[in-house]
Structure 1
């Protein structure tokens, strides 16, 4: 057990050096992977030849904030103040901890953009807002206000000395010691500041994400029944969009789930460093998952192209590499157009036939009670261009 004295208080760490090193190594590796994944998304969005859609710009904002957050995770084990921190690799000072808190506040923007992504899917799928309308009516506000809020709160926290080493886990952010001369648990307002800085945003995101995608899923399920008999290819597209949104939700909760539980322990049950041995497995899981959102998003973002390449018969690992790092999918296939065809790896015709048979069987059971409606092709323009189905005689260069 290590102990250090700071401001008349004793800071304890009940973890062994080996346990501390495992936490630090996991955080650094996950942070580097997340930086790599988010940088890949930023590069692909900026290199897109076609006009960028709201989805692309939301992913650009999400990935940019995630790069900042991932960089802070890589620095965390080394930037903690050596004079007061019991962490085994701490080599920084108060200034480096304040800088780390600044980056940590900016990183919350990635979580907020995940929430905005869910509202985008809800608006374009459930409410039928077109991409053009979304870009004009909502985008200037959501990007402008989001960027201003996180830049303002992160910057204002530095001169007011809001950032200190967290009392549970690795990191520097807003702690309960605000103001610095407050008496512990009496005059301190740090928890109120923390709720304003990130708590309300994360809480709203945790609630909005599952609700938005639940409403979207219900609409997609109903739309599939209508589209299947009229346009099976479009029905497949809508189903892929529903799966795509669900995967973004899973990526978010995998990343932020352990961190949420740790913050609940710290705020509701007053957990501090002396309690870390009892939740060490949770701290290690948090060090692995919390910085990993960008890496997970890279795979979800690349999934539509990966499916196209597999449908075209490309081998698994080659398709995965091309989907993650290539913008021009036809060029990656070394042919002018990318067409869906049967192969030993994937037979799309079998999937469509199976899908249609299931839908027709369900539709026949309720056909007496409820008539089947049909959509005209022109009425499907509200669909977000995240996954694009192109006829065989046209060139397919859709990124998502």
Structure 2
């Protein structure tokens, strides 16, 4: 009986080999073209997404017929969206799309942006497109730009000769070959790796082959191996009872490939062969959630196995030596062990493997933007930075500008990951954030979600500061988390600035009207101080109005020019603080050195020229740095813009301390030697000293909160200190108002208050005389 069985088996083997040869001959007609949810099939095809995110291109059918196909849910949806039919007599395409006729008078709708014309003299400009050259105008060939399909199907699209040539040239790439996968049935060779359809110029080294096994990750090692008897598991809709220690033969359809493999694996199956539910070949993409090795074959090949080889030993071997397929965008598959060509990097879209992408052309910034803000995986971004010689993305140095961004920032330091929009309530994803080089909100959000950025990092804090632009709720906008708070931040400083404008105007007008007042140096200094304070207060009063409109700050209607103008005049206004030092020097000269009009005249030019010159230099130097500071536009650079104010406070305080010590010393001398003159000296020295002290006090009230706020911002702290920002915004425009109060105090004393003052002195003197008795 053994002898009788042998011829039968040889006959089946011979029949099997003949069928395989038949498959080889018809292979060029039915070779499947792989695709993913992010790559597009060519005209008249859709991606069936059999493996959730990947699958193969199938011919389009009428969109109503998509539901009748044995497709996954994702594939059915893709069929409907990709296969909207149209014709020259009806079923018009929607606005923004056009009808691409693929069957004479009928075809399918495509997006209008794909309707780019081309010719021999004007080829397609976009990478991944070719010219179909389907029309002729006179002696000139023309056509439409079509996206490269997945794989080498240039000869199977019905293209004219020049269209085929353009497709082959534009859509081909030399890839590494070699996912070596073999399948033996009962010791008979069944399938080996092929280059078609993965490379445009195939190597004719295929012996007997119908498909290419693809269920392996590019890890550079002998990845999967299984051998056992072949058992029928039907459609794999439920666990395969006979799968224990066997190779599962499963038909495609009804459920996902992963579910089929799991049905085999759940019953201890050690491998699977998935055969198509159509005549054409079927190729299987990697499944990361199962360890069962698998291959995909055609429907006819499956029928042969089902009818003649159940119970026969089958061996599946898959090497992932250097598999690299070509997608529609000339991308080669890659991994840590499958390198890309020079000038390319691996995007690692699938964690352990991905596709080769070209490094961006252009400046370092352009390359860095491509690596960090094009949606690459974190591993892909790091590889891009390494292979494309990208260091970082640099931003201007300012208080609210993002810090340098590089792949070195991708670490958490034991803290949670930064969440750009913590409450996931982004209202305006398409708005651009100017401080981030106009990167759109959705891209910034994706950057912080996809990459490991420390939630305590400065960049995370600045991202939260700016996320209000995108409509995210939270502590952005310096902590102004409601429209009411934003309005107060804009309107309260306007009230303060208005008070200063009125106060400074009164001092200027009152002194200018009187010749007697105009000739005194102290009044001239007060007028100069008030003029510059008036200029600064006018700029402060505009608050948010000149800020860039695209920053979406409350009340902002400005642009770059208006913002620079406001910042410049605010900086000019700080000259008033410097003139306070000149005022202190006047009191020091008058009281300590007893300078008269002649001596004061000698230093008059210095008292005016030095503050004005310093103020103008700093105002001019700040022109490149004037930017949005939420309250108004001002110098956004770190540290140095506040130097004049800090020096003014130090100088005025030093002069005041010197004046105080002088007056104290003189009082002690008078007590010892000229007791009778104590009252008159006390009146004179205290009057002058307190007059100077009031002006110094106004300087401190005006600038201290603002300097604290600027120091904290420059130190990358207090980005959300709303209360401090509000107090600083109210006080910093008030210097003109404080000066007005000091001026009126002195004037009231001159026109009547001196009577009360003398009465107080008399009472004091009388009390001291009685006490001495």
What is the CA–CA distance in structure 1 between the aligned matches of 2:679 and 2:512, rounded to whole Å? 33
The residue matched to 1:115 in structure 2 has which SS? helix
Show the counterpart of 1:56: 523
1:288 maps onto 2:730 in alignment: yes
Show the counterpart of 2:540: 73
- For each residue in 1:194-233, what CA deviation from the matched residue of structure 2 results, as whole angstroms up to 9, or x when unmatched? 51xx432112112122221122122223334527623744
Show the counterpart of 1:162: 625
Do the aligned partners of residues 38 and 119 (structure 1) sit closer, same or farther apart at CA in structure 2, a change above 3 Å counting? same
Show the counterpart of 2:636: 175
Show the counterpart of 1:212: 655
1:5 maps onto 2:418 in alignment: no
Question: Offset of 1:141 from its aligned partner?
Answer: 2.4
Task: Give the TM-score of the pair, scaled to structure 2.
Answer: 0.37
- Identify which of 551, 557, 560 aligns with 1:91: 557
What is the CA–CA distance in structure 1 between the aligned matches of 2:558 and 2:604, rounded to whole Å? 39
Do the aligned partners of residues 149 and 204 (structure 1) sit closer, same or farther apart at CA in structure 2, a change above 3 Å counting? closer
RMSD (Å), alpha carbons: 2.8
What is the CA–CA distance in structure 1 between the aligned matches of 2:712 and 2:622, rounded to whole Å? 24
Do the aligned partners of residues 350 and 142 (structure 1) sit closer, same or farther apart at CA in structure 2, a change above 3 Å counting? closer
1:38 maps onto 2:485 in alignment: no
Question: Offset of 1:307 from its aligned partner?
Answer: 2.3
Show the counterpart of 1:135: 601
2:537 and 2:570 in contact (8 A); partners too: no
Do the aligned partners of residues 123 and 361 (structure 1) sit closer, same or farther apart at CA in structure 2, a change above 3 Å counting? farther
Do the aligned partners of residues 350 and 54 (structure 1) sit closer, same or farther apart at CA in structure 2, a change above 3 Å counting? closer
What is the CA–CA distance in structure 2 between the aligned matches of 1:93 and 1:171, rounded to whole Å? 12
- Identify which of 560, 571, 596 aligns with 1:105: 571
- For each residue in 1:221-279, what CA deviation from the matched residue of structure 2 results, as whole angstroms up to 9, or x when unmatched? 333452762374454132211111111111111111110110110122x136xx32xx2
Show the counterpart of 1:385: none
1:228 and 1:235 in contact (8 A); partners too: no
What is the CA–CA distance in structure 2 between the aligned matches of 1:132 and 1:200, rounded to whole Å? 33
Question: Offset of 1:35 from its aligned partner?
Answer: 0.5
What is the CA–CA distance in structure 1 between the aligned matches of 2:750 and 2:600, rounded to whole Å? 27
> 5+ unaligned residues in a row in structure 2: which ranges?
1-425, 445-462, 468-476
- Identify which of 699, 702, 706 aligns with 1:255: 702
Question: Offset of 1:358 from its aligned partner?
Answer: 5.3
The residue matched to 2:433 in structure 1 has which SS? strand
1:266 maps onto 2:713 in alignment: yes
Question: Offset of 1:284 from its aligned partner?
Answer: 1.5
Task: Give the TM-score of the pair, scaled to structure 1.
Answer: 0.68
Question: Offset of 1:109 from its aligned partner?
Answer: 0.4
2:667 and 2:678 in contact (8 A); partners too: no
Show the counterpart of 1:354: 764
1:124 and 1:131 in contact (8 A); partners too: no
Do the aligned partners of residues 356 and 91 (structure 1) sit closer, same or farther apart at CA in structure 2, a change above 3 Å counting? farther
2:496 and 2:733 in contact (8 A); partners too: yes
2:547 and 2:627 in contact (8 A); partners too: no
1:224 and 1:239 in contact (8 A); partners too: no
Show the counterpart of 2:616: 151
- For each residue in 1:141-185, what CA deviation from the matched residue of structure 2 results, as whole angstroms up to 9, or x when unmatched? 231233233334434544xx331112xx41222224xxxxxxxxx
What is the CA–CA distance in structure 2 between the aligned matches of 1:164 and 1:21, rounded to whole Å? 20
Question: Offset of 1:59 from its aligned partner?
Answer: 0.9
Bigger CA radius of gyration: 2
- For each residue in 1:2-46, what CA deviation from the matched residue of structure 2 results, as whole angstroms up to 9, or x when unmatched? 985111375232412111111211100000100110111111221
Do the aligned partners of residues 153 and 131 (structure 1) sit closer, same or farther apart at CA in structure 2, a change above 3 Å counting? same
What is the CA–CA distance in structure 2 between the aligned matches of 1:361 and 1:211, rounded to whole Å? 37
- Identify which of 547, 572, 581 aligns with 1:115: 581
> 5+ unaligned residues in a row in structure 1: which ranges?
177-190, 313-339, 341-345, 365-400
Do the aligned partners of residues 2 and 100 (structure 1) sit closer, same or farther apart at CA in structure 2, a change above 3 Å counting? farther
2:544 and 2:633 in contact (8 A); partners too: no
Which structure would you say has the larger RCO, counting Cα contacts within 8 Å and 6 or more residues apart? 1
- For each residue in 1:53-89, what CA deviation from the matched residue of structure 2 results, as whole angstroms up to 9, or x when unmatched? 22112111111110011001111221111112x4211
More strand per residue: 2
